[in-house]
Amino acid sequence: MIKKAVLLSFLIIIFTAIYSHSEVETGWISGRMMIKGGGPMSNGMIAFFDAQTGPPPSLDKYFRVPDGVDGIDAEGRFRTMLPVGRYYLGAIKRVSGDKAGPPQDGDYFIISEDKAGNPRQYLIEKDKELNIGVIADAVPYKRRVPEDATGISGTVHDMAGSPVEGAIVFAYYTETMTGIPPFTSYKTGKDGKYIITVDRGGRYYLRVRDVYGGGPPVPGAIMGGYGEEMPAPVTVKTGELTGNVDIKVIRHMEKGPGGRQPEAGAARENQQEQKKKP
């Protein structure tokens, strides 16, 4: 079973499926992750991307949120149970100090690729173990936004119009914005500006939080989404950044326009969650 992500997690997100359920067929994957020209990716994290739920992960064009993560031991080894299917694989060893989210400059980061430089798929079969051997290609990460990047940019600000620091923008394919988000941005700085890149043009819905792991918001947590009363799509063209997409957010328990919490994005979801509680 995939272990729950610990403090050093790549992202504090695990598969929502309960693998012990009799209807879920599982297999194992194991191997060893190494730094190029160096030692093991000691105490790093291995990340798995379901090939059926999204695009291949990318080193620089966009950051796809993994469907599951697991720990790497002191020798760089891992062994993880997964539902049967095809997966892409990545790994990170943090040196930046960040505990979650996309890799920062200097972190050792790798996406497993084939000889042609394409992300490699791994087939997990029922009750079988796939040993991928040693992958020794992890190098220090350098963040950049390619000139032909596809995505959305803008500013996150509060109801008073001030920029919000520490906000994270998530992009979804559908307006329900449920489950693991396909794409995420880095946290905003003091200027509140964000850039979130995606794999292709289309319509995307944006949600804003201040944690990568999700979960119920705590008092003071950043909440919001693009769209005032209802989630509104942002249209993106392949190879272009759609700019000036500004997003209003609140702090949990604050009131939005009209003396109520906005129903777009995370705020609306939180209202639904509160209704379910006894």
- Tokens representing 190 are 């003091």
Asked if 222 contacts 164 with a C-beta cutoff of 8 angstroms, the reply is yes
Please determine whether the domains at 26-140 and 150-273 fall in the same fold group of CATH: yes
Q: Which one is the CATH code of 26-140: 3.90.1150.10, 2.60.40.10, 2.60.40.1120, 3.40.50.300?
A: 2.60.40.10
Q: What is the CATH number of domain 150-273?
A: 2.60.40.1120
Name the residue ranges covered by the structural domains of the chain: 26-140, 150-273
pTM over 0.95? The answer is no
Question: How many angstroms separate the CA atoms of 195 and 172, rounded?
Answer: 15
| Buried residues in 109-140 as b, exposed as e (16+ CB within 10 A) | bbbbbeeeeebbebebeeeeeeeeeebbebee
Tens digits of pLDDT across the chain (278 residues): 444 333 333 333 344 433 444 488 999 999 999 999 989 999 999 999 999 999 999 988 999 999 999 999 999 999 999 999 999 999 999 987 777 789 999 999 999 999 999 999 999 999 999 999 999 999 999 988 888 999 999 999 999 999 999 999 999 999 999 888 999 999 999 999 999 999 999 999 999 999 887 677 788 899 999 998 899 999 999 999 999 999 999 988 765 555 555 444 444 444 443 333 33
CB 199 within 8 A of CB 64: yes
The predicted structure's pLDDT at residue 257: 55
| Integer Cα distance of 102 and 187 in angstroms | 9
Q: How far apart are CA 171 and CA 177, in angstroms?
A: 8
56's tokens:
């291949």
